[in-house]
A and B are shown apart, each in its own frame.
Chain A
Amino acid sequence: MKIHDTPMIDQLEEGEWPSFVKGIKRLRDKHPDKRINEMTNDLLGQLEHSYETRKGYWKGGTVSVYGYGGGIIPRFSEVGDLYPKSKEFHTLRVQPPAGNYYTTEILLKLADSWEKYGSGLVTFHGQTGNIMFIGATTENTQSFFNEINEYGFDLGGAGPCMRTAQSCVGSGRCEQSCANEHKIHRLLINDFIDEMHRPALPYKFKFKVSGCPNDCVNAIERSDFAVIGTWRDDMKVDQLEVKNYVAKKGRKYLNNTVIARCPTHALSLDDDDTLEVDNKNCVRCMHCLNVMPKALSPGDDKGATILIGGKRTLKIGDLFGSVVVPFMKLETGEDYRKLQQLAEETVDFFAENALEHERAGEMIERIGLVNFLEGIGLEIDPNMVMHPRENSYVRTDHWDEEVKKWQERKTKMEKTVIDAA
């Protein structure tokens, strides 16, 4: 095997941060399997060629496994004549366990399987949330998938389809968690396996689940359907811990860093160093809980806020998800079934009404939030807007009927509160 010269990428071996180039070279030089040595040698050759010419040389195509229409990112080299052993270098997107939890045992098992069929390169995880097994020939993708599929791993999404979902570390470790992220994650995504494996949606659709408004999986900005854990009763305050915090950091620090940063001015420090919380006006931003996790905790009446339509720039510009359900209790089987139904209604509506290559947020931008809400059977709520309409270009023909609806909703809500009490 003739080793390619790689003077440019060799410079990425230096420095303290772990080097991916060193890692690929280990596969080239030290792996017992000649197939892996040759494949990674040619990969390094092509990468060096890219560094020299400042251009990429991979092209897509069509590769999948038997029975599926997606889940694999096909890569064929445009310079395969120069680097023949890596000319087919497909990535398998594999769904990770919810919360990205692994044992070393299962990781080693995946490593053993990948060693038989792939390049030996893997990423935990891609930005959508998949395990990325990078570099397999067309022939080997099927064999690798067959093997890992037998012990519980399945492909994720690629193309215009349901994409792999993501959830945060959650209830397994985090004191801020207000939801069972694992359950929500698997309940939602495993209901759309067919839409994931057989791309037939207008464009991609992503679920992400964060257990609290810190939104560690970036659900509001990076998913079409964001589930954010929250609570609606009073936050819990351990006044002794508040006093300890004041004793340690000082009143001025607490006033400047906690009280003054509350976005709705819902906090004040009393003269006896206890904290007063105006819970009615707290918007659950999490800042004070983040600063003082020992003293402050979420309340007990937990649930989730649902936002729809987050995405990055293409085509109309960046969009945040926006609230479609301000609060949803997630306790009983029926509660979870309601969440599942909401997801089903949303995806059905998206499939039927979005234009080709249009994300859910863009569709809502085009048709208006009200049409979307009516389409999936959700009721409007003032929590869905930053403020009411500012421009006067609107027809209000059915104003009286809409007022009646609002009053009916109000009565219904009041009755629910009374029933609950």
Chain B
Amino acid sequence: MAKVHPRTPIESGCPDGIQYMHPVMRSNFGQWKYHEDSQPGVLRHVANRGDEIWTVRAGTQRILDLFSLRKLCEIGDRYADGYVRFTIRSNIEYMVADGAKVAPLIQALEREGFVVGGTRNSVASISHTQGWLHCDIPATDASGVVKSMMDELVDEFKSWQMPNRVHITTSCCQINCGGQGDIAINIQHTKPPRIDHSKVANICERPLVVARCPVAAIRPAMVNGKPSLEVDERKCICCGACYPPCPPMQINDPEHSKLAIWVGGNHSNARSRPTFQKLVVAGIPNNPPRWPEVTAIVKRILAAYKNSAQDWERISDWIDRIGWKQFFELTDLPFTKYHIDDWRYARKSLNSSSYIHF
């Protein structure tokens, strides 16, 4: 094959979204008055001058194959107006100007196996990243965890039975790509990295790895006559930060990399300032292909929230009101010494008052 002269890229950056926007949305840009939720998965937005745009939201498998993507497009062409968008939780949204198109569109989506819902006070699609399918450092497969969990929570996605919306996230390492969530399911390693000393010198930039450790537990060492690294295992917090820059420091462990559940993360400013999620359960087995143990606990937390929270309380608002003592009682989860923070500023998380929940 003849050598082709390399093509210089066009550095066009982020494309203009407005060119792909529904004409009704384009002409009412910035002129929306209110919206109503007519049924789960459906939004009706009304503009100042009276125009309407209807949105139908459907959950997808996120890792889309081309057949599924084309099917979603075909539905969009046949039953909608050909304009779509994706939410940050990988739902597809179809926008139509005519409310009469909503019912046939929903039927078409459901016929093809997509799930309509995920709006208002439902359990939304779980945000996650790649896992074993593509990531270089995962201890689990978020896609599989999510599929297994959504199979069991699908009725909550399709209905409005929760006090407020529930955002669940999953992550395959402590970098936590899934992000903060009302409920977050994250990997928690429990053993220090196992080091392949024969490879460290060739693969890892050692000072960089030393600098990466949050607790200064890594130091350079000569092992078997070769430059390598050693870990002070009493100091090590098993976070896995050394693993990405130095793959011979294997942190993933088929048995000892466990799942942990965190609750109360909230990105919104509504009612209270944004909050970070808090640890509630650790030590859950990382058990493919369907991870039943973690789903069972998530369902227990959701049941307690559903029974005890008031309308519009997110999980963080609910726990703020009822207190952590009651949270652990209502969910029947153990409270251990590992729940008490000892990282920097930990004293800020202690109860320095006589406010006690009895």
Q: Chain A residues in contact with chain B, CB under 8 A?
A: 8-9, 11-12, 14-24, 26-27, 30-31, 43, 47, 50-51, 53-60, 65-68, 73, 75, 89, 91, 95-108, 111, 114-115, 120-127, 129, 132, 134-135, 145-146, 149-150, 152-155, 164-166, 169, 171-175, 177, 180, 182, 185-186, 189-190, 193-194, 196-197, 213-218, 220-222, 228, 253, 256-257, 261, 263, 284-287, 290-291, 293-294, 297, 312-318, 320, 356-357
Contact = CB atoms under 8 A, between A and B. Distances in A.
Contacts of A122: 64, 66, 69
Contacts of B214: 314-316
Given A17-B151, A56-B135, A98-B14, 12 more contacts: A11-B290, A20-B143, A51-B132, A51-B144, A56-B132, A65-B9, A97-B19, A108-B70, A169-B87, A172-B17, A193-B13, A216-B88
Nearest to B91: A124
Q: Which of B84, B208, B257 is most buried by chain A, counting CB atoms within 10 A of its CB?
A: B84
B190 interface: no
Contacts of A19: 61, 147
B interface majority secondary structure: loop
Interface of B: 6-21, 25-26, 29-30, 32-36, 45, 53, 55, 59-70, 72-74, 76-77, 82-88, 90, 92, 95, 113-115, 127, 129-141, 143-144, 147-148, 150-151, 154, 174-180, 208, 211-212, 214, 239, 241, 247, 252, 254-255, 257, 265, 267-272, 274, 276, 286, 288-290, 310-312, 317, 343-345
Contact of B90 (A108, A124, A197): A124
A101 B20 contact: yes
Contact of A153 (B15, B129, B131, B135): B15
Contacts of B276: 221, 318, 320
Given A18-B115, A121-B63, A317-B344, A107 B84 contact: yes
Given A154-B12, A286-B269, A91 B134 contact: yes
A98 to B, nearest CB: 4
A182 B29 CA distance: 11
B159 to A, nearest CB: 13
Contacts of A214: 268-270
Contact of A68 (B9, B90, B257): B9
A40 B15 CA distance: 30
Given A18-B59, A172-B26, A316-B344, A146 B7 contact: yes
A18 B114 contact: yes
A121 B17 CA distance: 23
B90 A47 contact: no
Nearest to A11: B289
Nearest to B207: A356
Contacts of B72: 107
Nearest to A18: B61
Contacts of A11: 289-290
B236 to A, nearest CB: 14
Contacts of B344: 316-317
Given A175-B32, A175-B35, A293-B35, A182 B16 contact: yes
B301 to A, nearest CB: 19
